[in-house]
Each structure stands twice: as C-alpha cells, then as structure tokens.
Structure 1
Amino acid sequence: MVGTGEAALDHPKRSPARRRTYAAVAGAVLADAALSEVPTVRAIAAGRPPRPVSPPEQQLGMAAGLVSVGWGLLTTVADGPLARVLARRGVARPHRALGVAAGVVTAVSTLPLWWRRATLRIAADERQAREDADVAAWEAELAEVER
C-alpha cells in the first residue's frame, strides 16, 4: 500500500487518475481487512467460538504494522527530495519508482515477521489436531466400554 500510494503522486492533484489510485488503495485495504475476518465469521456462523489470537501472534502482527508504518513515514519524508533527484536524472515517473522501492523494502522487511506468525499458527493447528485426535480416541474408548 505504501508503494501504491506513493505512485499516485505522479498524477496531477485532484485528477481522476489520482482518485482512482487512491480508491484502489482503499479498496485493497478494505478487502484485506474483510478477508482477515472470514475465519472468525465462519466460526461464529458454525456455532463455534472464534479462534483466539495468541499474544506472540499479536506481537508479530503489531511489529509488522509498525515496520510498515515506519517505511511509509520515511518514504513520505524523503519523497520530495528523492523524487526531484530522480526527475533530474531522467526518470519519467519518480514517485512510481520510489513507490516500488518502498513497497519492496516493506515487503522484504516484514516477511520474517509474517513467516514466524505462520509458523506459530501451524504449530497451534498441529497441537489442536493432536488434542482432537486424543479426545476422539477417548470418546471411542468410552463408547466401547458402554457397549
């Protein structure tokens, strides 16, 4: 999102192209937020409690968000001078170039955090599967004894 918002600056102020770019950014943010809530909505619809977010997962999500915000702020501060330097060097769309660079740097710097979060979720899912298998085996033993 940092990169796309930055690329919008290549268009004139209040132009339809800039509005479309900002609308696309807003749509992507809303879609991401909605998709992240789908598992919770499914669990509630099925009558199950939603999956709680563990504190380590929450910390990793917060850290990734802070890293993204940091890169966004840095890009915002450095945008003017860097865009002028790139324009003097003949770059046709300096804001787009800065946006791509900011997006790549943000993605690369948050990837380890998301990887660790996924690893935590996999471990939790495996633990839950083992517990479910143990409960199923215990229930099968009880059913066998009751016969």
Structure 2
Amino acid sequence: MLEPILVVTTPIVAMKAMDVNNSTVSGNIFAVVELMSQGGFDESGSIENEDLDLSPYIVLFHGDLGTGERLQAVQQRCAIEQTPWDWFQRIIYVPGLFHLKMACADVIWRVFISPVAARDDDTCLMRDIASPEKLASMHQSLAFNKYTS
C-alpha cells in the first residue's frame, strides 16, 4: 500500500532589500549571512520563531554561474572555521535554468551530433530531426561550437 505524501504549508518570509556587492566573495558572504538572519536563523543558534527553524534543513541558493563560483569560494574560504554554521555547510547552490539548458544542449552536441561516428548509425539523432541534405549545411552553420570544443 502506498503512503500518501503529507501536504505541509511552508512559511514564506519576505526579505528586506540589501545594498551588497555580490560580485565579490565577501559581498556574497555578507548577503548569505544577512538572508539567513532575516529568515530568523543566525550563527548564535537562537531561533526567534520556531516555525522558521532551519537547523535540520539545507538552504538552496539559486543564481547564475558566477554566484555558484562565489558560493563555492565562500565554502572553501570558511572551511577552517570552528562550526558547520561558519563553514556555510548547509548552503547548496542550484544553477539557473538557462545554464542547465545550455549544459544539456552542449552534451547533446558533443555526444550525438559532433562525432562523425555518431552520425553514421541508422538510429542517430540527426536522422530523426533532419534530412540528409540539411545535415551538411547544419554542420557548417554551427560555428559557435568551434569555441566550445
């Protein structure tokens, strides 16, 4: 018998605007600490509102690739600290949908389109999406892939 998934209302907390330079690692550290503090959870471990207790959870931070690199740098820089809070251990970076789509398109190109052997098979992707006349023109017109290979 399947057990139903319980429906739980997640509290939404509006954050205040911050004047932070997110193009630097120290700016990202400040932004993360400030967002966590506004959410009711700070380094002291004291929780103002029991509904906002984040201690058993991870915190997903969404952003572009630069944000991901800076959050990784924050975690590396703070790895020598004393507590998991100071290590930023609960912070997990989630790439933006645009970057995920571009990574998928790049994988499709590298695996199914670019290699000559991948186009010779009767079950190849290019036979499903293009006629043989268009294959040559497609391969020549995709000049942007010169820079990604």
TM-score range, shorter chain: under 0.3
Taking structure 2 as the reference length, what is the TM-score of the superposition? Answer: 0.25
Indicate the structure with greater strand content: 2
Indicate the structure with greater helix content: 1
Taking structure 1 as the reference length, what is the TM-score of the superposition? Answer: 0.25
